[in-house]
Amino acid sequence: MKIGIISDIHSNIEALDVAFKWLDDQKVDEVICLGDVVGYGPSPNECCDLIKKNCSATLLGNHDAAVIGAMSTEFYYDAARLAIQWTRRQLSSANLEWLYKLPYTHRNSEWRASFFHSAPICPSGYFYVVFKDDAVAHLRMMDRLSDISFLGHSHLVRAFRLKDGKVKETTVDKVEWTDSAKHIVSTGSVGQPRDRDPRGAVSYLDTDTGAVILHRFDYDRKTTAQKIADAGLESRFGERLFTGS
Ligand SMILES: [Fe+2]
């Protein structure tokens, strides 16, 4: 099976459309969304509607949690907090209700995979797994990790291999299933990349081989940035789409 993975869309419908088009072309069987459907961007309802239609599971990201009041907005800087409040006002009651029901994790034993928005060690804590030490903390839960754990949250592409009490940073395309190794993989952001590459990121897991295929794509970011300006959201949210920062 091919399992599509999207994350950190952040209300960017132009990027999300292109990501789904690529997943369609790859003939994926299902798509899992790792959360942060909303926040920062100008099209929250459109993104919720499309994800509801196309994803078999969606997780609760920290921005989604803040929008529904399940997380305090005091952790956010002013512009991000204003965007969360703006998003709350824009969302239809059906989409707000949908966000309320989203879980923190999703696991599928047949696929040998689990899905999280942030660090598996405490899914509701929204901790990052960016550096090797962040992954090292997961050695103590080796027996509970699936062979592959997919995460969003950092908006970066990262892969760590955990084996024999040690962690090695690797690349996403080097993820291979073995009996004793576990992998923690961040697949990047659809709608707001932050790895100095402004292209969106989307991927899929081939459950027959364990391979992760990552794809970067261009989209009409001018339109997204214009919509951000028109909505009165912080202009930097639009500018960073051109730099991937
Ligand atoms: Fe995010």
Distance separating alpha carbons of residues 47 and 50, to the nearest angstrom: 5
Give the chain's radius of gyration (CA, Å).
17
Mean pLDDT of 22-32: 98
pLDDT band, residue 173 (cuts 50/70/90): confident
Share of the chain above pLDDT 70, in %: 100
- pLDDT on residue 77: 87
Alpha carbon of 45 to ligand 1 centroid (Å): 17
Alpha carbon of 46 to ligand 1 centroid (Å): 17
Mean pLDDT of 202-208: 95
Alpha carbon of 178 to ligand 1 centroid (Å): 30
- Tell me how many helices (H) and strands (E) the chain has: 8, 11
Mean pLDDT of 137-146: 96
Alpha carbon of 38 to ligand 1 centroid (Å): 8
**57-58, strands of its sheet edge to edge:** 57-58, 30-33, 2-6, 200-206, 212-217
Q: Indicate the CATH number for domain 2-242.
A: 3.60.21.10
Where do the domains of the chain lie? 2-242
Alpha-carbon distances, residue 63 vs 36, 39, 75, 211 (angstroms): 5, 6, 11, 30
Distance separating alpha carbons of residues 151 and 129, to the nearest angstrom: 8
- pLDDT on residue 92: 98
pLDDT band, residue 159 (cuts 50/70/90): very high
Token pair 């929250």 in the structure block, residue:
44
